[in-house]
Amino acid sequence: MNPLSHILRRALRYGALGFALCAMLFGSLAMADDLKEKMAAALTGFAGQPIGIEAVRSSPAPGIAEVQIENGPMIYATEDGNYFFLNGDLHQTSATGAINLTEERRAVTRKEQLAAVAVEDMVVFSPDGEPRDYIAVFTDVTCFYCQKLHREVDQLNAKGIEVRYLAFPRGGVDSEGAQKLATAWCAEDQQATLTELKAGVELPVNDCADNPIAAQYQLGQDMGVSGTPAIVTSSGLMVPGYRPADDLAALLGLD
């Protein structure tokens, strides 16, 4: 679900401000109406559903407005409506939506972090022929949605998408899940072993000394992973949770 949609569904309704107050704070009703119209258009495009603006007013910070969303929270925006803050992230508005500038910065950092990890330290499922793109997936063998995503690896490969797994034991590096992940990473046939473990097959623990489980778990924490699967695209975009193969292909522009 879109983060904004989720917030708007759960937020409490706030009271409206009158036109007279808007005029007093913004200098004219036209300025207030312009901001309301601009924010409504941007947030509607961003959320993918109609979003109305109940009221606007100046905040204690110069140049920053308080924007009260209908049946939703109050957010802060620049008084020209070109930028707003949501969940601490800075967004830039347009006539058709908004861009999360903070997430774009995070994506650059994630891409750099992933580039520092040797592909040989991942468990990789490659398509026949040259991959068209790839996703990196922080995974755990005991995670239901990790198992569900893994059953679609063949579909992803058929679309030319390479799947690069990184270990993220949800119970920590001393958990049983970490031992099972190590068993896959230490196996002679990593792909087959990981597939068997995700199918619930009980295998003897094979915890080799030089496995990268702890390092990849720490990397996931550094990148903000809080659950599995956590999918990171080649551009550094973080996609939390399971997505069907068709959706991932569309996200990568391969549909």
Q: Starting at the earlier edge strand, list the strands of the sheet with 161-167.
A: 123-125, 161-167, 133-139, 230-233, 238-240
Q: Which two tokens stand for residue 83?
A: 């930028």
Predicted local distance difference test score (pLDDT) of residue 138:
98
Distance CA 101, CA 104 (A): 5
Flag the least confident range among 30-34, 100-104, 135-139, 147-151: 30-34
Distance CA 164, CA 134 (A): 7
Which domains does the chain carry?
Answer: 3-96 (no CATH), 112-251 (3.40.30.10)
Identify the band that residue 22 occupies on the pLDDT scale cut at 50, 70 and 90: very low
What pLDDT digit, counting tens, does each position of 166-199 carry? 999 999 999 999 999 999 999 999 999 999 999 9
Predicted local distance difference test score (pLDDT) of residue 95:
80
Beta bridge partners of 65: 58, 77
Q: Are 186 and 212 in contact (CB under 8 A)?
A: no
Nearest C-alpha neighbor of 230 from the set 141, 161, 136: 136
User: Residue 145 carries which side chain, given as an amino acid letter?
Assistant: Y
Distance CA 105, CA 223 (A): 12
Count Cα neighbours of 115 within 13 Å in the Cβ-side half-sphere: 9
Distance CA 181, CA 137 (A): 13
Question: With pLDDT > 70 as the criterion, what percentage of the chain qualifies?
Answer: 88
Report the catalytic residues. 140, 143, 146, 170
- Residues in contact with 221: Cβ distance below 8 Å, sequence separation at least 6, in sequence order: none
Whether the pLDDT of residue 84 is over 50: the answer is yes
Predicted local distance difference test score (pLDDT) of residue 32:
83
